[in-house]
Amino acid sequence: MQVFNLSSQSEDLTDLLPSMVKLTAHPDLCVKKACGEILAQHSSKNSEMVLLAINTLVQDCADGNPMVRGLALKTLSSLQQDSVIEHLEPAVKAGLLDKSAYVRRAAVLACIKLHQLSASAVQDGGFVHTLYDMIRDSDPIVVVNCICALDEILMDEGGVVINQKITHYILSKLQMFPTWMQIKILEILKKYKPESEDELFDMMNVMDFCLEHNSPTVMVVCLQLFLHFLEDMPHLQSEVFKRACSSIVGHLGSGNTELMYTLVELVSAAPDSVHHFCDSFQSFFCRNKEPVYLKTAKIRLLPQLVTEDNGHAIMDELALYCVDASSDVSLEAMLALGRILHTKNVFSQDCQTKFISLVQSSTPHVFSNSVKVLQDLDIKDKSFWESLILNICQHSHLISSDASKAALLFLVGEHGKNLSEAVLLLRDHVENFDEIKDRDVKIELLSATVKMFLNHPAECQSFLGQLFERATIDKDREVQYRAVFLYQMLKTSITTAKSVLFSP
């Protein structure tokens, strides 16, 4: 135990290697395994001790006890010395033909270690062909180990090659494999391309049980495999989601955030299949303790789940997320409301009401986000904008980010022509022009002020002149060009300026 404690603390145990070498011949398997692990960790520091250990390990590879043979192979393949190669190669060949499944498992994995020491030894020794033949081994762990080993050894050539015979064989044994092996098999099967639709459907029928597997990882990997196979048949992808719907909804309540995120992204990536989850829309609602990345992924999906029956419930839920403490969650929820407003006309009035409520918020990030989202909304109702712009002007002091300031000025210029508060807000920004650092804010201020001037020339003439004076000598060339362009357009023709700036 003391030696293991020292080893776990990364202590130098080189001085103990002679004793470890002697103990590799001990009849107790636990002692052998402990000594083998320590030898493997420190073999690169003392090549002489490694040579002494090799002799004992080679002898153990021929022991009558399969546990000893397998353990000796594992230890021998873990020694980090080139001198091991000539002894390891024949030991692995013998292990691959061993009657014990345990030894064959160890020998297959030892092929990977041998390849890391000498790729030519594996290629010239015919190990690749042997591993391909062993895929038909009676032991399922040997089968999966062979596939993993080939994938590693042939990585530079694209990994293991899966043909029709191999595919059908491993599929026939799929239910016999433990869970982690099923995952690996399903991942490897992405390399295979079925020769016909009939073959594809036969394969999917065999793997169908995986879509309702107790393991969420098996279910997810199987779903990804099916979608991969049906990449050119989107109408059938929808049927796959319909088949897996109950499993997906069930796993969304698992509490595993990474799994839930993966499932939400899978559903989001298939817009033609989202309708299968409309009845389970509440499963995609956020929970307080969920991380931001999961909440935003769920919120992005919710607008696609809206129907006439659940629309109000989803919008009420989104309204709660709009005032979330996280600015990212808040913004994503408002964008979701905006998408509902554009795509579901029946809920447009409800969405407008919610946005009016949001711009009345005294929370800075909520108000700022609402202004940014409103900038991109196409709403024709003039009464909506008049009441909205009034609230925006009254709460403009809450805005701190440049993007939100630019959005606010855009909204004021576009919809605030009938409000005296909008004129006062623009005048204040013009007076503080020299303190503005952001290019977009300056350009939006120019556009908004000129628009306001065209509607209220008397109130705006004085500070518009100040704005042109400052903007035409600004350090930013784009701001200069925009100021000169707007000035020349006003100078040339007021009618032309109105047609350009107020064009639909």
What are the φ/ψ torsions at residue 437 (nearest 5 degrees)?
-105, -25
- Given a contact cutoff of 8 angstroms between Cβ atoms, the answer to whether 269 and 237 are in contact is no
Q: Can you tell me which residue has the tokens 């065209």? A: 454
CA neighbor of 497 nearest in space, from 442, 454, 452, 438: 454
Please check whether residue 146 is in contact with residue 131, taking contact to mean a CB–CB distance below 8 angstroms. Answer: yes
CATH class of 1-158: mainly alpha
415 HSE (CA, 13 A, CB side): 25
Q: DSSP string of 71-132?
A: HHHHHHHH---GGGHHHHHHHHHHHHT-S-HHHHHHHHHHHHHHHHH-HHHHHHTTHHHHHH
Please, are residues 109 and 77 in contact by the beta-carbon 8 Å criterion?
A: yes
* pLDDT reported for residue 356: 85
Give the length of the chain: 504
Mean pLDDT per block of 10 residues along the chain (504 residues) reads 50 57 65 66 61 75 84 81 82 90 91 88 89 90 91 89 90 88 91 90 91 89 91 86 89 88 90 89 91 95 92 93 93 93 85 87 89 85 78 82 89 80 86 88 90 84 87 89 88 81 70
Q: Which pTM value belongs to this model?
A: 0.77
Q: CA 317, CA 354: separation in Å to the nearest integer? A: 11
Question: What is the four-CA torsion angle of 269, 275, 281, 285, rounded to 10 degrees?
Answer: 20
| Spatial distance between the Cα atoms of 198 and 180, rounded to a whole number of angstroms | 28
Residue 484, token pair as written in the block: 């000169």
What are the structure tokens assigned to 128, written together? 């690749």
Give the separation between CA 157 and CA 408, rounded to whole angstroms: 56
Question: What pLDDT, on the 0 to 100 scale, is given for residue 36?
Answer: 65
* Under 8 Å between Cβ of 248 and 263: yes
pLDDT of res. 6: 47
The H or E element spanning position 170 is helix 164-172
Tell me if 240 sits within 8 A of 226, measured CB to CB. yes
According to DSSP H, which parts of 363-456 are helical?
Answer: 364-374, 382-394, 402-415, 420-431, 439-455
Do 200 and 194 contact (CB within 8 A), yes or no?
yes
CA–CA gap between residue 430 and residue 433 (Å, rounded):
5
**pLDDT score, position 414:** 81
- The span from the CA of 105 to the CA of 85, in Å, is 19
